Structure 1
Amino acid sequence: MSKTSPNQMPGAAATQAQRRFVFVLLDQFTMLSFACAIEPLRIANRVLGRRAYSWVLAGEGGQEAVCSNGVAFRLDMGLEEVRREDTILVCGGIDVQKATTRTLVNWLRREARRGVTMGGLCTAAYSLARAGLLDGRRATIHWENQDSFLEEFEQVKLTKSVFVIDGNRMSTAGGTASIDLMLKIIASDHGEDVANLVADQLIYASIRTDQDSQRLSIPTRIGVRHPKLSMVIQIMENNIEDPISPSELAEEVGMSTRQLERLFRRYLNRSPKRYYMELRLQKARNLLMQTDMSVINVALACGFASPSHFSKCYRAHYKTTPYRERGSQGATPLAKPRLSF
């Protein structure tokens, strides 16, 4: 399959032709990410004064798909053959591993072989990666799923960008990142002025590019603007599997271990060791909930030398064991009202 330049927008050749998007709604997909993709297309049609974009809703079974907030969408089609000039956007959400069925994977592979442009919104980059369609490509996924994605798909060049376009493959980090991707597509198809008008209609004042990171900066996240504290936390986040001692962390930023202790106590009300442990346990919980990795391998990936020590620390922090945490994934959500669209 031929691969276009990473900077070339797929499907941007015929600006006067109507472009169709096939939104594939996975079980428990995120409504926000989907809505932020489809609404810019609707508004672009209004701005252009013609139906430049059309769309259909697809999914396994072809009947309906239910998103994570319980709202049901009536589907237009099942996983059938689409037109080669269509753009497939898979919409993911909660428990994307379960929603990525063998039927879906086979369909994605078949359509990819036909040269169809496709992308994954929110967690759906997992579905594309599971089908082998992101091998050797740049991609992104919601930050909460990055740890598990990296463990499973080493051949994918995962970034922390808001969205990524690599040839005829696209991915977004979820949430409002879909707006940024669609504005990029609209700008490529019809010019920056049209994209800006669409953004204005959306009251979207700051359009992000694929160079923007999906997460808030460390100072914003922790509510503290202290350069050395931010540096230490960044080092911690980059060294989860092989934790660095407090003395080494202090030396790295040019202060004593005692000064580092005081810094964490003053701004975060905990020791550096405690903060580091919480980061490691947070990653462990993500891996337990989102992968099939054994508890032992999760422990090793998060810097714990023994499963017993890992289990003890996990229970102290989350009030449950790693084994019970994994078992809780099967809990059935409360039923919510259904609406048809």
Structure 2
Amino acid sequence: MDISDQLVDIQDPPSKPRRFVFVLLKDFTMLCFSAAVESLRIANRMSGRELYSWTLMSETGEPVTCSAGIEFVVQNELIEVLRDDTVMICGGINIQNSTTKKVLNWVRREARRGPLLAGLCTAGYTLARAGLLDGKRATIHWENQDSFTEEFEDVELTKSVFVVDGNRITTAGGTSSIDLMLKLVAQDHGEDLANAVADQLIYSAIRTDQDTQRLSIPTRIGVRHPKLSQVIQKMEQNIEEPISPSTLARNVGMSTRQLERLFRRYLNRSPKRYYMELRLQKARNLLMQTDMSVINVALACGFASPSHFSKCYRAHYDTTPYRERGAQASRVGN
């Protein structure tokens, strides 16, 4: 079919295209960036007009390498943007290392001009470090949520796919960029164009800011058992102060022995073992993503003493928390 047969009629097209400024931080995630740009490109194509334009920036103006090892050429270093621009900061792995003093100063300065500022993937961390999310709702990739919560108490962190709060936007990364861009396209030019973009992307399940980024517990564990899901949800919500198996069992109306059998049958481990793995998983995230002391990490994950924490950590990960922290520092430094 000819593209002219698919064009979406846009009433009162803008006199000039809406410009997006993509700031590519070192080790940014290519998917979150490319998904956003492709959505804009397709919106232009499906409307037959240049509704959107974009430009790329980096901290120095030099090419930037994404986390997949591919280098991207940019048009500018961090220069002044216009009030009508939409600034999208693209983060990825090692976001703490990529959020330099120069980046923070630039973000704060440009925020005073009043443009719409977005943090894609982990770049919500950059906005938070700049103090631009205080008192606002936000989201970030689920893997970074534990460390974000510990560091930024004044931000109302959600588990949404994306969040728009005033002139601040944050996304969870990955394909959530598509959901955000479809929302912006719909706001600018109507649902018909947004749906046409989604069709071109073969994107059939458009999510909103009411959708959560992670799979449901039954889907994640591959088991559909309501009481088991309730117990696991309770465990995930109570990492710092673990709840005893007997209390967990009582909360869902079963005996401790029944709960033990349920975990053994479906997850091949005891409730106590599963709970421990959840706590150690959070501990590893905090060790890798924050500067919290090992003692504070232990306390945040429900361990009464550093020695007990170290013993459990070593048994599960075959290394100590201190060595894990040292290895991470070495990786970031390189």
Report Cα offsets for 1:128-154 as digits up to 9, x if no partner.
000000011111000000000000001
* Amino acid in structure 1 at the alignment position of 2:156: K
Q: Secondary structure at the match of 1:61?
A: coil
- Please name the residue that 1:257 is paired with: 256
Q: Secondary structure at the match of 1:107?
A: helix
- Please name the residue that 2:188 is paired with: 189
Q: Secondary structure at the match of 1:188?
A: helix
- Please name the residue that 1:21 is paired with: 20
Q: Secondary structure at the match of 1:70?
A: coil
Query: Does the Cα contact within 8 Å between 1:264 and 1:272 map onto a contact in 2?
Result: yes
Query: Does the Cα contact within 8 Å between 1:136 and 1:155 map onto a contact in 2?
Result: yes
State how 1:225-240 maps to structure 2 within 5 Å: 225-240=224-239
Pairwise CA distance, 1:332: 4.8
Pairwise CA distance, 1:328: 1.4
For residues 102 and 176 of structure 1, what CA distance do their matches in structure 2 show? 29
- Please name the residue that 1:82 is paired with: 81
Q: Secondary structure at the match of 2:81?
A: coil
1:321 matches 2:320: yes
- Please name the residue that 2:113 is paired with: 114
State how 1:51-200 maps to structure 2 within 5 Å: 51-200=50-199
**Which runs of 5 or more structure 2 residues have no equivalent in the other structure?**
1-11
Pairwise CA distance, 1:330: 3.8
- Please name the residue that 1:30 is paired with: 29
Query: Does the Cα contact within 8 Å between 1:15 and 1:189 map onto a contact in 2?
Result: no
- Please name the residue that 2:6 is paired with: none
TM-score by length of structure 2 reads 0.95
For residues 184 and 263 of structure 1, what CA distance do their matches in structure 2 show? 42
Q: Secondary structure at the match of 1:28?
A: coil
Q: Secondary structure at the match of 1:161?
A: coil
- Please name the residue that 1:339 is paired with: none
For residues 157 and 16 of structure 1, what CA distance do their matches in structure 2 show? 37
Report Cα offsets for 1:212-263 as digits up to 9, x if no partner.
0000000000000000000000000000000000000001101000000000
- Please name the residue that 1:308 is paired with: 307
Pairwise CA distance, 1:84: 1.0
Larger deviation, residues 13-22 vs 138-147: 13-22
* Amino acid in structure 2 at the alignment position of 1:232: V
Pairwise CA distance, 1:329: 1.5
Pairwise CA distance, 1:17: 3.2
Pairwise CA distance, 1:324: 0.8
Q: Which structure's relative contact order is higher, taking Cα pairs within 8 Å and 6+ residues apart? A: 1
- Please name the residue that 2:206 is paired with: 207
State how 1:288-299 maps to structure 2 within 5 Å: 288-299=287-298
TM-score by length of structure 1 reads 0.93
Change in Cα spacing, 1:150 to 1:69, as seen in structure 2 (3 Å) is same
Report Cα offsets for 1:67-97 as digits up to 9, x if no partner.
0010010111111101111010000000100
Q: Secondary structure at the match of 1:141?
A: coil
For residues 281 and 244 of structure 1, what CA distance do their matches in structure 2 show? 15
For residues 237 and 330 of structure 1, what CA distance do their matches in structure 2 show? 28
Pairwise CA distance, 1:198: 0.2
* Amino acid in structure 2 at the alignment position of 1:47: M
Query: Does the Cα contact within 8 Å between 1:15 and 1:190 map onto a contact in 2?
Result: no
For residues 328 and 172 of structure 1, what CA distance do their matches in structure 2 show? 29
Query: Does the Cα contact within 8 Å between 2:13 and 2:51 map onto a contact in 1?
Result: no
Q: Secondary structure at the match of 1:110?
A: helix
* Amino acid in structure 2 at the alignment position of 1:94: I
For residues 60 and 219 of structure 1, what CA distance do their matches in structure 2 show? 42
Pairwise CA distance, 1:51: 1.0
Q: What is the identity percentage for the equivalent residue pairs of Structure 1 and Structure 2?
A: 74
